[in-house]
Structure 1
């Protein structure tokens, strides 16, 4: 007996969007993620992933809109908090807001959090903490580079 795959199933579409995104087919990924959201708009990872695709494509307004939608769905989601922290550090230079979000993400890590996610969040948090320490201890004309931070989806 054959099993059938429903092409309108949002999870199947989501996995296709991930494939597109990983292949660099970002516009296709955006289109599919929007379809996922249209089918089921209360799934946090659809909004979070769409936010990441937008942000990595320079569409910052659309990206933060999706990150905020994901945040409204779950204010304690550590991946969304991480992405909010990255957004504020990279795109607005609001390092204290970035620190707040990344600290909240780091504090939300549990024994169930996978190693990759744990490592990315901890690295992002520690990098921002170092930047803030440099700012607080630095001289007025010191130039401090915001480190490369990693978004999660």
Structure 2
């Protein structure tokens, strides 16, 4: 749903819905309307002994073959025939993941060569244009104008 998110989702809305964001300021714009996660993460987690299936980490859309974490802020994902989602940033995984499976929070975090934190639990976006999205729908990426801005947590 344009400007809101996924119908029926707990995070849908014009303003922030996540408990930690609401506590920080309930009038903030909701930059977390849609959560997208790369399916390749599930294989990585399986290699570490975790069993996680699509949708179990709260993602609304699971992708395959798209390096979501490498996309810049402002990239637009065209999902199915009409839906468009603008990428706003990285999902900052919270303690709820740890309650799902002990040790999982640490498994979706990593460190880069410089020691910086790498969040691997997907990306967040806002809905620019609504539409029905179905399993198997094509996803096309449109990059914003240069210079690109690296994703940060939202």
* TM-score category of the 2 structures, normalised to the smaller one: under 0.3
Q: Which structure's residues are more often strand, by fraction?
A: 2
Q: What is the TM-score with the length of structure 2 in the denominator?
A: 0.23
Structure ranking higher in helix proportion:
1
Higher relative contact order (CA 8 A, sep 6+): 2
Please say which structure displays the higher CA radius of gyration: 1
